Amino acid sequence: MSKTWRPATQLVHGGTLRSQYGETSEAIYLTQGFVYDTSEAAEARFKGETDGFIYARYGSPTNDMFEKRMCALEGAEDARATASGMAAVTAAILCQLKSGDHIVAARALFGSCRWVVETLAPKYGIDFTLIDGRDLANWEKAITPKTKVFFLESPTNPTLEVIDIAGVAKLANQVGAKVVVDNVFATPLFQKPLELGAHIVVYSATKHIDGQGRCLGGVVLSDKEWIDENLHDYFRHTGPAMSPFNAWTLLKGIETLPLRVKQQTQNAAKIADFLAEQGKVAKVIYPGRKDHPQADIIAKQMTGGSTLVAFELKGGKEAAFALQNALDIVKISNNLGDSKSLITHPATTTHKNLTDEARAELGISPGTVRLSAGIEDTDDLIEDFARALSKVSA
């Protein structure tokens, strides 16, 4: 494996471990355990004197390939693959905190991430402050002597706000806190949080990395020292490990990640431009457009737009439902990052548990709709939207 390979090459070849059979495609090692030639060999493995696997909850060959390939892409020293994105987020946060510590998090978080910060962490005596993460001054104000973790997602779900990752990392470094970035919406291709100064990156591999709607997965990436000191034991003993079958599915998915994300982004950008011209659409939020409220930060930290588009219909919930129901190619689903274009109405699905006030703070109105662009033909998608919009009463 070469460190100088560009992403498209890393994602096809990075981390490959070939067996004695020289298979072309990565092998799936569906095994729970491993055998040792001698008692002495087992003893040495357990002492860490020899390399090799011990038990699939700790690590296994197919998972190892997935972790190494993700490290190559992200520019991270080490990683752990988890059963889902939420297992990755929960592990990344809890493994480094103890009772009395404090988290500062941007309030615009994926619903379950917000639950981990607001509901789960306090049960173990971990305090938190939720802020509007767009303004760096809010991060600074929220710091207490107990602050150990800054947690954010950028762009955010569903309204695609962005947070200045380098700015947050600078503040965190001043107080010795660690920045955890949930980089799902940006994808590992368009944003490199570690290069921007973040300490830990997490993904739901369920999204673009699988990209074909098949399995759940997650990954936590960081430097070797942080993983050794924080995640290593937590991961071994609490058991959020990914199934080797899913690791294999994700390894195959990741080979085509750049091709899919390129087509998805192109579709998203064209649909965003089309929607912005429509009289029934009040506003379009797309990180690739010049009219994005934080276009300057996007230019600084992202190398591509997004596969997601948020937009607001003038006719509120009724218009949003009518549009979704009239779409033919685009399917109604709360998932994202898929080859298939998917659309959702956040106020009644992904963000239904928030109060009206909390939704308003996040910019989610009754007319807000989130599109995850797939890899279909661009013109077919635009025709689908044009036809569906014509059925929405003004």
Ligand X SMILES: *Cc1c(COP(=O)(O)O)cnc(C)c1O
Binding site for ligand X (CB under 6 A): 84-86, 89, 110, 112-113, 153, 157, 182, 184-185, 204, 206-207, 216, 218
Q: Which is nearer to ligand X, 85 or 253 (CB)?
A: 85
Q: Which is nearer to ligand X, 257 or 319 (CB)?
A: 257
User: Closest separation between CB of residue 202 and ligand X, Å?
Assistant: 8
The CA distance from 135 to 152, in Å, is: 13
Sheet arrangement for strand 331-332: 281-285, 308-313, 368-372, 342-344, 331-332
Cβ-based neighbour number of residue 329 at 10 Å: 16
Q: Which is nearer to ligand X, 97 or 209 (CB)?
A: 209
- CA torsion 72→178→140→351, rounded to 10°? 70
User: Closest separation between CB of residue 217 and ligand X, Å?
Assistant: 7
User: Closest separation between CB of residue 85 and ligand X, Å?
Assistant: 2
Q: Which is nearer to ligand X, 131 or 202 (CB)?
A: 202
User: Closest separation between CB of residue 278 and ligand X, Å?
Assistant: 27
The CA distance from 301 to 154, in Å, is: 10
User: Closest separation between CB of residue 180 and ligand X, Å?
Assistant: 11
> By beta-carbon distance, which residue lies closest to ligand X?
85
Q: At what angle do helices 257-276 and 378-390 cross, to 10 degrees?
A: 30
User: Closest separation between CB of residue 102 and ligand X, Å?
Assistant: 22
The CA distance from 94 to 98, in Å, is: 8
Q: Which is nearer to ligand X, 315 or 337 (CB)?
A: 337
Q: Which is nearer to ligand X, 218 or 315 (CB)?
A: 218
The CA distance from 35 to 54, in Å, is: 8
* Angle at CA of residue 105, ends 104 and 106, nearest 5°: 135
